[in-house]
Structure 1
């Protein structure tokens, strides 16, 4: 009988959390609202700072053996010209992790996002902005704001509940700890008007609120602590209520199981937990960019991949007309039900339920005119890109919420003879590091 050998573990190193260093801040990094700095040869990813600043940082994660450290800028010695006082009292080191760039002017935020996209295109796709058909700008949505003014754009907010006080709060960065808040400054007016922060939510672990921007519909999705009863909800505004059980199933408690949104000339049903853009102007902004880039013609055939509740499929169907056809593919069953309901009047649209990478090769489709590709944050991937490139579409619209996934997939498309002829970036998530892109691709001629 063999004796089990002891597991050899690499020493974790001595903790450096709480250590403070003075550093010169380098470029912005992709993801998390960090900038890159170095101290004695070690890389630090620092939040609450800006490129070019000299700051005192405090380490929040890492040891002497770590490849890199995470840190917060706790004192600014030399500020950037784009720095402002954070309007939100819950923003800053050790506080709410939701907004990365409350301390940055609106123009400065867009500049940082542009730098991230430029770096990802070069690193992962081997493209300059000009080669990607991009003018280098990140476009504001809803008009430009003066420094210090916070846009109320977020129509969907998930609050955590403090288990001791029953108060609502938001998670701290990379933590399960809760920062209690009396309001969220980026929450839309439809969320703020409910006054959820004044309620006692004891017995719940989270409260998600959805305020439709296309109707007066308001919806709460409650997640109880196992074994606890739902609290009594008394609000001045009418609101639908659902709860989520331990298996992530929805149970309607009161009101509609969906909210109604308005975009692209239609009313859309979006059921409990379904995806819809959370900036009120995002659906129309993205549809307009996709249609302008694709320029659909009467009688053409189109694919809408990862089609959700049918937003792009409906817009395409109107343009290709009764002589054309649109196939939408979506893996979320409830989203498919909603899409079929939303587009029931359009005989030239078919919605299928399955994973894109599973169903698309089985459709028997060997060619198409147009493709809309709106994958989840991880992107489409090499296999799906390879299949799409074989369909000889005259144009492909790629809608992306992650610049790294977009750049990687543009690199895959380049391998198969497709190049971006235009790229637009939209600041649909102000105060955060997130943004949305629409790339239009064509096959390389000759």
Structure 2
């Protein structure tokens, strides 16, 4: 199917002016005026007869490179017949015009497209259209139908130091010392030799000091190594930006501002990578969606599963009210990533703490921009902030440890880890 190539205004104007000069010169007998009009008239008619007849095509494809958090690489494939000297390619994203470029195609040409973003999850890469330009710019094609592509941006991770551990470790292997006797950990005590002890565990110095006649042997007993079970709980019900005026949903947050869900995805991915790097087991659950949670597991594949599950998580309408918090493995460390703008996440965290879990309440609300707000909006934000502060203070009173992710979370987590070392049976990596 051929595309219509209408004449441009400049070409039509030059032909009209040339024809007017030619007729005026013929009527007035001025050959010089007629010659001046003949050139643009002949050029315009010649270029119009040479207008292309084939279509211009455009396609937006994924790049062959490895995607990197923070930037999206794509390829714009433009196709045009050989008689089209140039193609104007326009790129838009999120309703904003990113730019236009005029390129020479001659068949097919691949143009690299790099989009930088602070957002994560499912999002639009760009919307691209193209318009061909005929010979001498005398004609242009009808713009192609805009083509768009979506992709999933995985959350970026940040390096964390020491992390708090649950009060009770599980398993027969791992990287942390447990309270039960075994092998691999630090010294637990020195005990008289009993059936089942190995001779290589005999401490001859203690034996010589306590039983010089060797009537009794003493062995060194160590703490066994175990692993921690960590459950990450994401609250996907809220996805708010730093501008409170966008919380109603009528206006989307700005593309350059990360939202609370972006911070929650990055925080959960960072905590998961830190624990999985130590050989612990990490699972994932969502308070906003009733679906089967990702059970705790270990290894690199588990980290990939968690990052992908975090990336595709997004608010899904009005969530159903939960009568009780989801069931979790016993003795797990629970990290709740939420804005705590309502009571549901706080109630679930308090219930888990009442059941004996160690609970971390990770606050992922972005730093608010309030300078442009009016008096009524400032009062509303202040009331919401006071209610949220009371909610977090109540969690702290219930022995739920609160961490603010926007304010040096690695320092806060390391402080909680050092405090855990003073409690019997707990430790830090």
Structure number with the higher helix fraction is 2
Please say which structure displays the higher CA radius of gyration: 2
- Considering Cα pairs closer than 8 Å and 6+ residues apart, tell me whether 1 or 2 has the greater RCO: 2
TM-score under structure 2 length normalisation: 0.30
TM-score under structure 1 length normalisation: 0.29
